[in-house]
Amino acid sequence: MNHERFYITDETVIEHIVSTQKQYFYAQKTKSINSRIQALNKLRDAVKQNEQRIMDALKQDLNKSEVEVYTSEIGILLEEIRFTLKHLAKWMKPKKVKTALTHVGSKGKIVPEPYGVALIIAPWNYPFQLALSPLVGAIAAGNTAIIKPSELTPSVSRVIQELLAEAFDPAFVTVVEGAVDTTSLLLKQPVDYIFFTGSVNVGKIIMQEAGKQLIPVTLELGGKSPCIVHEDANLDLAAKRIMFGKGMNAGQTCVAPDYLLVHKKVKAQLVEKLREAISQFYGSNPLESDRYGRIVSERHFTRLVEFLKDGNAIVGGGYNKNTLTIEPTVLSEVSWTSDVMQEEIFGPILPMIEYETLDEVIHKVQEKAKPLALYLFTESEDVQNAITERLSFGGGCINDTLMHIATPYLPFGGVGESGTGQYHGKDSFQTFTHFKSMLSQTTKFDLSFRYPSEKQSLKMIKKLLK
């Protein structure tokens, strides 16, 4: 199928899509709690009724297994919708605030209001969930939404387009398929919010374009997320949980452990346990396993295979160009200056560097951009405190990987180069909401000391504002 024939590259068409959504928004059709609940229910039903279609598309684009699709794409989205429906009424309520002494007679409240038209730009690695999970927040907060899925996963992009076209009026929610040209046109439009998930480099372009119109943005980016294994770690569990995080979607996960920092004393043992975990999860030949994903494109495959030269593949190292698969691989003898340690790997290769002191680890991580995630395996509370207090990162886990992003109770996002803003659960609602401060003044009396006059007393003002 020629997917590009669905791409919109005509500016007037894009302008029309945005202006139609603006009109729909100004017609107040998205704001009532009933309309938001109805839309979320529709979205949930559309996903449930099309489960097989979604699974087939993800198989085709990324060879994702049905279990992986359910846990990391469909199930997580349904859970987000369920959680949002349960709490939405409470989140939407205006919040009364206290009245300051200087404001006697008035009442203050914070009123959540939607921004308007939200533009959601999604990546290819969890192409379904990362397009629709922000949509849950956008709808819950009362916005209209335009979704631009990734062109690198064309089957999923098509399914998202079809599914949302069946469920929604395009003046409310619509999908614009396309690549860079289309996205560039969308970025010129006067939308009210931009929610971007993708790479650091493209994130910079998005922020620059948004800045031209001062459009608020959320940037969910990536980077090199370290995984530290201390000498007192439970190595059996560490190995399994590290491979769970690195093996999922063949390492093409924004919060995958990017590289391992392992204490010298436990390095050899950990390597053996990682080898066991891989064979337990994917059998003796992961390249043939239907539980193991493939690399998204030939370009990414070639980029990853190049990294294998940066160390010694003590576990794995095999690959198949025809199927675009690379074995889960542990690379030893890696230097901090090698290529594999410069950019986000985004594949199943795990470089390993040993350390002797925690200070060494802290200084090295501090030299790099603040990561999206950090994982630490240790039984010691002192070590846990030292790492979490001294290092800045988006979020992370102690004695686990990835799991912090799968709960609606924890906000998810980066810091510095790994992103701006956060979402999931209540934070998704807040992200797509402007909190309007309203003060309602009494007309029953009027305190005259605030007005310029001869009687205005500085002494009195100083008493109030100290």
Which positions are annotated as active-site residues? 220, 254
Selected range binding ligand NAD among 44-52, 79-87, 191-199, 321-329, rule: CB under 6 A: 191-199
Nearest Cα residue to 160 out of 124, 117, 131, 196: 131
> Which pair of tokens denotes residue 309?
């030269």
* Smaller CB separation from ligand NAD, 150 or 174: 150
* Smaller CB separation from ligand NAD, 179 or 305: 179
Residue 125 CA to residue 61 CA, distance in Å, equals 10
* Smaller CB separation from ligand NAD, 209 or 231: 209
197 binds ligand NAD (CB under 6 A): yes
294 binds ligand NAD (CB under 6 A): no
* Smaller CB separation from ligand NAD, 124 or 292: 124
258 binds ligand NAD (CB under 6 A): no
133 binds ligand NAD (CB under 6 A): no
Selected range binding ligand NAD among 111-119, 195-203, 331-339, 354-362, rule: CB under 6 A: 195-203
Between β-strands 312-315 and 193-197, what pairing exists: parallel, antiparallel or unpaired?
Answer: unpaired
Q: Which of 61, 73, 220, 354 binds ligand NAD (CB under 6 A)?
A: 220
Residue nearest to ligand NAD (CB): 222
CA 270 to chain centre: 30
What character string, x for contact with ligand NAD (CB under 6 A) and - otherwise, covers 296-335? ----------------------------------------
Selected range binding ligand NAD among 62-70, 83-91, 115-123, 376-384, rule: CB under 6 A: 115-123
CB of 130 to ligand NAD, least distance (A): 6
CB of 13 to ligand NAD, least distance (A): 18
Q: Which of 112, 114, 116, 123 binds ligand NAD (CB under 6 A)?
A: 123
Selected range binding ligand NAD among 39-47, 50-58, 146-154, 385-393, rule: CB under 6 A: 146-154
125 binds ligand NAD (CB under 6 A): yes
Q: Which of 150, 218, 325, 430 binds ligand NAD (CB under 6 A)?
A: 150
148 binds ligand NAD (CB under 6 A): yes
Nearest Cα residue to 54 out of 137, 132, 171, 140: 132
Residue 412 CA to residue 376 CA, distance in Å, equals 18
Selected range binding ligand NAD among 98-106, 147-155, 278-286, 427-435, rule: CB under 6 A: 147-155
Going from the C-alpha of 441 to that of each of 107, 444, 461, 465, the distances in angstroms are 7, 9, 19, 19
Selected range binding ligand NAD among 12-20, 161-169, 178-186, 228-236, rule: CB under 6 A: 178-186
CB of 66 to ligand NAD, least distance (A): 21
Q: Which of 344, 354, 417, 427 binds ligand NAD (CB under 6 A)?
A: 344
Q: Which of 17, 47, 58, 122 binds ligand NAD (CB under 6 A)?
A: 122
72 binds ligand NAD (CB under 6 A): no
Residue 416 CA to residue 370 CA, distance in Å, equals 6
Residue 42 CA to residue 96 CA, distance in Å, equals 32
Q: Which of 65, 184, 297, 399 binds ligand NAD (CB under 6 A)?
A: 184
Q: Which of 202, 207, 398, 415 binds ligand NAD (CB under 6 A)?
A: 202
Nearest Cα residue to 139 out of 75, 81, 187: 81
372 binds ligand NAD (CB under 6 A): yes
Count of residues that bind ligand NAD according to CB under 6 A: 27
Question: For residue 19, which amino acid is it?
Answer: S
- Give the footprint of ligand NAD on this chain (CB under 6 A): 121-125, 130, 148, 150-151, 179-180, 183-184, 197-199, 202, 205, 220-222, 254, 344, 346, 372, 414, 419
